[in-house]
Copies of this chain bind each other. A is one copy, B any other.
């Protein structure tokens, strides 16, 4: 079973059970963002987590096996077109140099890891229009000299 078929199986089960990523994450004690990413095939799941997800969604053990596979992460290399994703890309374009200044001033020369990394989505209710809160948390990695 490849990652595509795995995602189809998981999405069908999720839809049939009427579950949200929020609920799944909360019931399994995992982050909703991470669960969604693993189910969409962009992250591998450790064995016990893969098993927990598959059992919770009542799909076969071959889905758990597929969740454990290390994915080749592929996305469209052109500018993204979906407006929600484009806005994130625009943030990187507009604020990229600013973040480089502020982060490196605070931490030294280096980067924020996208591997040793986690991310959350929260909702801030607001009478003038609710707000999306994205929290990105990555280990700082300093460049080394040798």
Interface residues of A (CB under 8 A from B): 20-22, 30-34, 36-38, 40, 42-46, 49, 70, 72-75, 77-119, 121, 123-124, 126, 129-146
Contacts and interface: CB of A to CB of B under 8 A. Distances in A.
Contact of A33 (B38, B98, B136): B98
Contact of A21 (B91, B105, B142): B105
B90 A86 contact: yes
A7 to B, nearest CB: 10
A102 B134 CA distance: 11
Contacts of A138: 87, 131-132, 134
How many copies are assembled?
A: 10
Q: Is the interface of A mostly helix, strand, loop or mixed?
A: mixed
Given A75-B81, A82-B100, A96-B88, A140 B145 contact: no
Contact of A110 (B81, B106, B109, B115): B115
Given A46-B145, A77-B79, A78-B77, A97 B113 contact: no
Contacts of A118: 144, 146
B96 A44 contact: no
